[in-house]
Amino acid sequence: MVFSIEQVQKFQEQKFAYLLVEVKNHVLCITLNRPDKKNAMNPVLLAELAFSLAYAHYNNDIWAIVLAANGDTFCAGADLKAFAGDNQEISVSTIPQPNGEILLGELFTQVHKPCIAKVHANVFAGGFLLVCGCTYVIASDKVNFSLPEVKRGIWPMQVMQSLMQIMSPRKAVQLCMLGEPFNAQEAMQWGIVTKVVDANNLDKEVETLTQSICKQSPSAIRMGLEAFDNMRSISTHEIHAYLKKMLGKVLQTQDAKEGLTAFKEKRAAVWTGN
């Protein structure tokens, strides 16, 4: 996390320039709100997104995250001119300065909360980093995806790495090399999208999924996702010892004790996230 727990304490008091944020029923809803620039990510938007995800990470009362967008494009990637220092906009954002460099490709790996991308419109270039970072991706059947960087003499370096975590490396390289658009059904076939739905049912599908997630133990999910992330950097012969240790930590949570008691008493568990 590039923001500390102290920095996110006043999350609800902050002004966001390019995000809409709302917490409802243990779900943090984050909406990209730079539609005039096709939700291209400039430094301020990127910092606001990192700040919001840090808040979710530290807050045990947040059980899931929904990432959505306004406008006719879900995300067009990075605003290269803005990152180069050109066309700087006056920002009303009040979030604090991050404590380190924000790497979009790593933004979601330490959140340890289920993240659902609600993709209503096309995704381009670095926008794939948002989609690949999420746990679930629910996309409208009208959506198309494209990595056009190679047509402009650029290679989607970070996107390539993110794609290789969820699909065949050979296919990932092909998508980066040819830059051809593909539809939501193809994206689902290759593992980029979790589910494709009729555009009119997108909101309902995301709501159903978040409700299903929130019926489960948030502590178990949080610690399970932490273990999943950490397994990537643990040697093979140490994995089972690590997972045994993590299971012991899960069994000490209030949620685990409540879950076992509820099972014995044949009733629904009442989760606290602790």
Q: Are residues 106 and 119 in the same domain?
A: yes
Domain that residue 157 falls in: 11-214
Phi-psi region of 80 (alpha: psi -120 to 50; beta: other; left: phi over 0): alpha
Domain closes at, from 194, 214, 234 = 214
- For residue 256, being part of any structural domain is answered with yes
- For residue 139, being part of any structural domain is answered with yes
- For residue 273, being part of any structural domain is answered with no
Strand-strand pairing, 136-140 and 195-197: parallel
Segment holding 117, helix H or strand E: strand 115-119
Task: Give the bridge partners for 32, in sequence order.
Answer: 19, 69
Q: Are residues 238 and 203 in the same domain?
A: no
Q: Are residues 20 and 38 in the same domain?
A: yes
pLDDT of residue 80: 76
What's 110's domain CATH number? 3.90.226.10
Q: Are residues 84 and 198 in the same domain?
A: yes
Nearest to 184 by CA among 145, 147, 128: 145
Q: Are residues 256 and 196 in the same domain?
A: no
* Strand, coil or helix: 107: coil
Cα separation, 27 vs 215, in Å, equals 12
Domain closes at, from 214, 235, 256 = 214
55 or 104: which leads in pLDDT:
55
- For residue 271, being part of any structural domain is answered with no
Per-residue pLDDT tens over the stretch 161-197 = 999 999 999 999 999 999 999 999 999 999 999 999 9
pLDDT of residue 43: 92
- For residue 133, being part of any structural domain is answered with yes
The total number of structural domains in the chain stands at: 2
- For residue 2, being part of any structural domain is answered with no
Q: Are residues 44 and 23 in the same domain?
A: yes
pLDDT of residue 90: 73
Q: Are residues 206 and 238 in the same domain?
A: no
C-beta neighbour count of 19 within 10 angstroms: 21
Q: Are residues 197 and 121 in the same domain?
A: yes
Whether the per-residue pLDDT at 260 is higher than 70: the answer is: yes
Q: Are residues 123 and 226 in the same domain?
A: no
Strand-strand pairing, 27-32 and 19-24: antiparallel
pLDDT of residue 195: 98
pLDDT of residue 84: 67
pLDDT of residue 88: 66
- Evaluate if pTM is beyond 0.85: yes
- For residue 28, being part of any structural domain is answered with yes
Average pLDDT on 140-151 reads: 96
- For residue 154, being part of any structural domain is answered with yes
Per-residue pLDDT tens over the stretch 13-68 = 999 999 999 999 999 999 999 999 999 999 999 999 999 999 999 999 999 999 99
Cα separation, 114 vs 137, in Å, equals 11
Q: Are residues 43 and 176 in the same domain?
A: yes
Q: Are residues 247 and 125 in the same domain?
A: no
Q: Are residues 196 and 243 in the same domain?
A: no
Domain closes at, from 174, 191, 214 = 214
pLDDT of residue 105: 85
